[in-house]
Amino acid sequence: MNLANVPVTEVKGVGEESAKQLAALGVTSIAHLLAYFPFRYEDYERKSVTEARHDARVTMEGVIQDTPSIRYYGRKKNRLTFRMLTEDVLISVTLFNRAFLKSKLTIGSAVTVTGKWDQHRLALTASELQLGLSQRDEEMSSVYYGAGKLTSKVLHKWMVNALTQFGEHIVEPLPFTLREKYRLIDKRKTIELLHVPESPEAVRQARRRYVYEEFLLFQLKMHVAKARQRQAEEGASLTIVPTATDKFLHSLSFTLTEGQQQALKDVFADLRAPYRMNRLLQGDVGSGKTVVAAACMFAVANTGNQSALMVPTEILAEQHSASLQTWFAPFGLEVVLLVGSLTAKRRRAALAKIESGEAAIVVGTHALIQETVSFHSLRFVVIDEQHRFGVAQRRLLREKGVHADMLFMTATPIPRTLAITAFGDMDVSVLAELPAGRKPIDTYWLQPDLLPRVLGFMEKALRQGEQAYVICPLIEESEQLDVQNAMDLHTQLVQHFAPNFEVGLMHGRLAAFEKEEVMDAFVKNEVQILVSTTVVEVGVNVPNATVMVIYDADRFGLSQLHQLRGRVGRGEAKSTCVLLAAPKTEVGKERMRMMTETNDGFELAEKDLAIRGPGDFFGAKQSGLPDFKLADVTHDYRTLEVARQDAAEIVSTGALYEDEAYKELLNLLTEEGVFTETKLD
């Protein structure tokens, strides 16, 4: 019997009318009904004063010690208070608007009360009271979201009926090996415990089992879809030998980190393989993603094909194309820059080289995806700061190539949890370590009125020949005000530091050539202080800069602050980041503290995610997360990782299709249409 096909009306007590109400909750079959879980549990397990946690909801029992007193206030409101002896601690119990109970609450009688516990005052504000001890036979009960006549109690009764009538037909989808490996209780028991909880621990076990199953199914879908996509796109592969990049790598002044080497291997395997690569290269700011991309482009160029690197800003495009030119000039590979601000003449020349194939590597902004741009043989596409581009833009660039392999790079560390879920159909390479010799950045959080001391500190660094960034206050949704702020701050700092040090100004309203001039002056140390709105957030590399001061730091997200901080700490000298902020909320203060406590972008991203939730992290639409019934990607991410590994293995070994133990999982996936859906992306 497939419970998905049995209507709810088969459950004792559910008539046509009730069925309609259930349908409004999305429940039409018994399978639906049994998956309509309580949103919380009442815990009636009796607690002693020593066990009870402050502010928690608890149940206590004891003996009444005095005659309850009643106070009337407002219209028809009253408060009843009495003292009660629990074990040997005297506590005070308060009930609101239950004056009518007074006659029943006599000295010496036993009562059981449930409510909110105040550990400091040894007081309980009760919402429930029962005369006598140990009245309840169950220690927990389930609470459902009801609707209209469908109360939580009614729903619970139907659950119990459904379990009694149909429990034996609950199918176990997980093979025994997996259940044994993780000590998971069976499916039927899981569902029973979720509706009829025996103890908090039993519910925890049931939840753990259910969450694993949800994640495993989700990951299986991802992996099956990916495998199908690969089959569909068979045909494109490049011949790249492992030594293809040796010459380039030897020409660098440093050796690659282990992470960089592994990422290269990953990408080469994808380039060689007969499927389209779809890989995310994640690495903290300064972890050296660009070199990895460069080595890949070098290898592709040597197969006679073109690569394109798309970045979000012109400054970044110029900086990347300059470093690539320096790296590749000795090998006779031509790097061409394509940005919106090129003169008509330079633009024509660039387009011609792109079309003829003379340009082995093309670096640019959105200008790359315009219709007039046509490549000779684009086979490899790198997108830097990938989250700044929409899906459509990424696709446009891809479609300028022939079976072009895609490498997405991001320096906004995406929490593992989201990388796995939102990008579950992407492969991921991670640069976990920074290149050797990098010194951690000291971060301080100061109140804004300590600015004079910050300026003093800056001056010391400047006297040692170092440079500083000052990031301006951010005023949401008003670029005009941001610019005004930047100009004011610039004037202020010019006055303070004249005539010893030069102060530059950078903001979004400057023309490209002006930005270039300012940046250039900062790179050459003709300007020692760069005042900027957040336009420096991405990419720029000035190793001599050692001080980063951020105004109104509490207005930025943790990941963004981390990005900004990553502009310093790139050279030999010790670097410092100063956050000026006076956050008003506890969460705001906590975020500033986090910044001072860790230099690990991934850790910060995880924390950011925990604070903001996955929807906010990418914007609700983009998060790409399915609706899980019980699972929570933030809190259950360990389980998610485990499920992901299991799913990968089950699909890649073919066990899903061949092994009898996976029959039920395969059925579930088939029912959900995983094998008939046509297109991802």
Residue corresponding to tokens 């159909």: 425
Alpha-helical segments (H) within 123-281: 152-166, 176-181, 187-195, 200-232, 246-251, 258-272
Residue 284: CB minimum distance to ligand ADP, A: 7
Interacting residue with ligand ADP among 145, 176, 254, 675 (CB under 6 A): 254
Closest distance of CB 247 from ligand ADP, Å: 17
Encoded amino acid at 423, one letter: F
- Using alpha carbons, select from 240, 280, 242, 249 the residue that is nearest to residue 263: 280
User: Residues 271-300 vs ligand ADP: string with x where CB under 6 A?
Assistant: ------------x-xxxxxxx---------
Taking the complex as a whole, the smallest distance from the CB of residue 453 to ligand ADP amounts, in Å, to 30
- Is the distance from CB of 89 to CB of 47 less than 8 angstroms? no
Look at residue 652 and give its three-state secondary structure.
Answer: helix
Query: Could you tell me which stretch among 73-81, 164-172, 254-262, 660-668 binds ligand ADP (CB under 6 A)?
Result: 254-262
One residue of 30, 91, 159, 256 binding ligand ADP per CB under 6 A: 256
Q: How far apart are CB 336 and ligand ADP at their closest, in Å?
A: 20
Q: Closest distance between ligand ADP and the C-beta of residue 383, in Å?
A: 13
Q: Which is nearer to ligand ADP, 211 or 577 (CB)?
A: 577
- Of 435 and 588, which CB lies nearer to ligand ADP in the complex structure? 435
Regarding 534 and contact with ligand ADP (CB under 6 A), the answer is: no
Span of 118-126, 250-258, 326-334, 389-397 interacting with ligand ADP by CB under 6 A: 250-258
Q: How many CB atoms lie within 10 A of CB 492?
A: 15
Alpha carbons 37 and 261: distance in angstroms, whole number: 47
Q: Does 251 bind ligand ADP (CB under 6 A)?
A: no
Q: Contact 418/606 with Cβ under 8 angstroms?
A: no
Q: How far apart are CA 434 and CA 510, in angstroms?
A: 33
- Within 122-181, the residues that bind ligand ADP by CB under 6 A are none
Q: Alpha-carbon distance 46 to 134, whole Å?
A: 9
Of 249 and 656, the one with the shorter C-beta distance to ligand ADP is: 249
Nearer Cβ to ligand ADP (170/523): 523
Scanning 554-619, the segments in alpha helix (DSSP H) are 558-565, 586-597, 601-618
Q: How far is CA 343 from CA 157, 339, 340, 370, 518, in A?
A: 75, 10, 9, 16, 20
411 contributes a contact to ligand ADP by CB under 6 A: yes
Judge contact between 330 and 251, C-beta under 8 A: yes
Using the minimum distance from each CB to ligand ADP, give the nearer residue, 30 or 291. Answer: 291
Helix 200-232 and helix 187-195, axial crossing angle in degrees, nearest 10: 130
Query: What is the closest distance, in whole angstroms, from the C-beta atom of residue 644 to ligand ADP in the complex?
Result: 25
With contacts defined by CB under 6 A, name the span among 256-264, 369-377, 445-453, 648-656 that binds ligand ADP: 256-264
Task: Choose one: 166-174, 210-218, 252-260, 661-669; the region binding ligand ADP (CB under 6 A).
Answer: 252-260
Looking at the Cβ atoms of 276 and 320, the one nearer to ligand ADP is: 320
Q: Where are the alpha helices (DSSP H) in 436-511?
A: 451-463, 479-497
Residue placing its CB nearer to ligand ADP in the complex, 213 or 384: 384
Contacts with ligand ADP in 198-237 (CB under 6 A)?
none
| Contacts to ligand ADP from residues 428-447, by CB under 6 A | 435
Min dist. Cβ of residue 428 to ligand ADP (A) = 15
Over the range 55-64, which residues count as b (16 or more CB within 10 Å of their CB) and which as e? Answer: eebbbbbbeb
| Beta pairing partners, 60 | 113
Distance CA 237, CA 606 (A): 36
Q: Least distance from C-beta 541 to ligand ADP, angstroms?
A: 5
- Largest Cα separation within the chain, whole Å, is 98
Shortest Cβ contact with ligand ADP: which residue? 288
Nearer to ligand ADP, 115 or 283 (CB): 283
Task: Specify the DSSP class assigned to residue 661.
Answer: G
Say if residue 499 is preceded by a cis peptide, omega within 30 of 0: yes
Among 205, 257, 533, 599, interactor with ligand ADP by CB under 6 A: 257
Smallest gap, in angstroms, from Cβ of residue 573 to ligand ADP? 15
According to DSSP, the β-strands at 89-96 and 77-86 are antiparallel
Phi, psi dihedrals of residue 276, rounded to the nearest 5°: -75, 130
| Minimum separation from the CB atom of position 335 to ligand ADP (A) | 16
**Pick from 81, 541, 560, 598: which binds ligand ADP (CB under 6 A)?**
541
- Write down the least CB distance from residue 410 to ligand ADP, Å: 9
Residue 64, classed as helix, strand or coil, is strand
CA distance 431 to 425: 19
CA distance 144 to 141: 10
Closest CA to 663 of 326, 322, 281, 175: 175
- Least Å distance, CB 438 to ligand ADP, is 8
Q: In this chain, which stretch among 145-153, 189-197, 255-263, 518-526 interacts with ligand ADP, using CB under 6 A? A: 255-263
Burial 259-271 (b: 16+ CB within 10 A, else e): bbebbbebbbebb
Q: Which of residues 565-604 bind ligand ADP (CB under 6 A)?
A: 570
Residues 6+ apart with CB under 8 A from 271: 237, 238, 240, 277, 296, 299, 300, 380, 405
- Least distance to ligand ADP, CB of residue 292, Å: 8
Shortest distance in whole angstroms from residue 259 CB to ligand ADP:
9
> Of 276 and 570, which CB lies nearer to ligand ADP in the complex structure?
570
Contact at 8 Å (CB) between 214 and 220?
no
Comparison of 286 and 424: residue with beta carbon closer to ligand ADP: 286
Contacts with ligand ADP, residue ranges (CB under 6 A) = 254, 256-257, 260, 283, 285-291, 411, 435, 541, 570
